[in-house]
Structure 1
Amino acid sequence: MFDTFIWDFDGTLFDTYPMIVQGYLQSLNDYGIKSTKEEVYQLLKEHSSKAIAEKYQLNFSDLSKKAKIHEENITNFSPKSFSGTQEVLEKIVANQKTNMILTHRRQDSTKMLLEKEELASFVKEIVGPENRFPRKPNPASLDYLLKKYSLNPKKTVMIGDRALDVDAGKNAGVYTIFFDNENLLTNIQADYRVTSIKEIEKFV
């Protein structure tokens, strides 16, 4: 059905949110702000990390840097891919189709987590903050991939767990799949909705 699968990383391919939430909680604490896991998680899922900075009237860049440092120092949590990730990525490549990743996570961190589970070879390109594109839902990063690889938008799909992933796909004119493993956000207007990574096999 699709030839190119462009994946978000955090919360889509890998369950990294416990680590991300903890990083932001510790960062907020640095500012003397007390929040909860539930509140930070809801802001991340419904909106983005920028929404956390806006809620507490903090500089987003500074807060984000602090959160990344705290996140990297967390040693009691090792992120794992969601069930079915390897099988789906492998099937896509076996069918001579392509996986790419579009993430706000640094490329070296993304690649390290992929390599831990021997998944890196299934991914053709990782676009991260190093590429200096505007953050999703701005379509610039997707437009870059479409142009670089001469992708057909009608054969390309953006897969993510948040509205900003879906909106980025829509803004770039590609199809969208919303990964909703928790049934947390019911108002996301994606072309397709799945509750497990394994379901994406039907789009290969």
Structure 2
Amino acid sequence: MIKALLFDLDGTLIDTNELILKSFKYALNEKLNADVSDEVIKTFFGEPLTKTLCRYSENVEEVVSIYREYNKLHHDKLCKEFSGVKEALKLFKEKGLAVAVVTSKVKPMALRGLDLTGLGDYIDVIITPEDTENHKPKGEPAEKACELLGIATKEAIMIGDSFYDILCGKDAGCYTAAVSYTSLPLDMLKKHDPDYVIDNILELLEIVENINKESA
């Protein structure tokens, strides 16, 4: 019986793809003089920031600070919800489903994105890196969300645009769904065997209905 939907934030509920790409390019290309292509940078989407940037600098905290300064400065201009997300979240709530955000984004910026887009009104639980010792792709963030919602992990679907989301959900024992509108090569996500691949998050309603029928 599915009782909750656990969503990644950036690239899944809100479109920050341009913001993230520009933030990486500023930190890597302009500050470190590292010639990193857009295609390579996009493969880092969904990965914890320190893991990405330590590939290019031993002084990773300084580069993270540069990235976050640029990201924060341009966030509101380049952040928007994906079309139809707000209506979908409202419908999920009307159907009695709990909704959580499980993100690698630090809490202040995650809350800022949710407030800016008006999606925060539909979110029951928000899990950010500050809330767990282990982060994606480990299952602890999804486990923590389920704990706070008072459900078993097998009663949730983890949805995201990165294989880190899929691995997190699988490690926690959740069902998993990858969104096809990811900026990453879709084949990269499919290699990690998500239970579902969806074009629109509204498809989750039918998925939940089918799983719950089978459970009954």
Category of TM-score, reference length = shorter chain: 0.7 to 0.9
The Cα of 1:50 is off from its aligned counterpart by 4.9
Q: Partner residue of 1:36?
A: 37
Where 1:34 maps in the other structure, the secondary structure is coil
Please give the per-residue CA displacement for 1:87-123, whole angstroms capped at 9, x wherever unaligned. Answer: 2110111112110001111222222222223221110
**Matched residues in 2 for 1:55 and 1:25: separation?**
14
The Cα of 1:156 is off from its aligned counterpart by 0.7
Q: Is the 8 A contact 2:57 2:63 kept in 1?
A: no
Q: Which moved more, 1:35-44 or 1:53-62?
A: 53-62
Q: TM-score, normalised by structure 2?
A: 0.83
What is the RMSD computed on CA atoms of the aligned residues?
A: 2.3
Q: Is the 8 A contact 1:98 1:124 kept in 2?
A: yes
Q: Is the 8 A contact 1:83 1:197 kept in 2?
A: no
The answer to whether 1:115 aligns with 2:119 is no
Question: Which consecutive unaligned segments of at least 5 residues does structure 1 have?
Answer: none
The Cα of 1:35 is off from its aligned counterpart by 2.1
Matched length? 203
Q: Partner residue of 2:168?
A: 168
Residue correspondence of structure 1 range 32-111 to structure 2 within 5 A: 32-44=33-45, 49-50=49-50, 52-74=52-74, 77-111=77-111
Q: Does the C-alpha gap of structure 1 residues 50 and 163 become closer, same or farther in structure 2, counting only changes over 3 Å?
A: farther
Q: Is the 8 A contact 2:180 2:199 kept in 1?
A: yes
Q: Is the 8 A contact 1:88 1:201 kept in 2?
A: no
Where 2:99 maps in the other structure, the secondary structure is strand
Q: Partner residue of 1:193?
A: 197
Q: Does the C-alpha gap of structure 1 residues 196 and 155 become closer, same or farther in structure 2, counting only changes over 3 Å?
A: same
Q: Is the 8 A contact 1:11 1:17 kept in 2?
A: yes
**Matched residues in 1 for 2:159 and 2:5: separation?**
7
Where 1:176 maps in the other structure, the secondary structure is strand
The Cα of 1:42 is off from its aligned counterpart by 2.6
Q: Is the 8 A contact 2:161 2:179 kept in 1?
A: yes
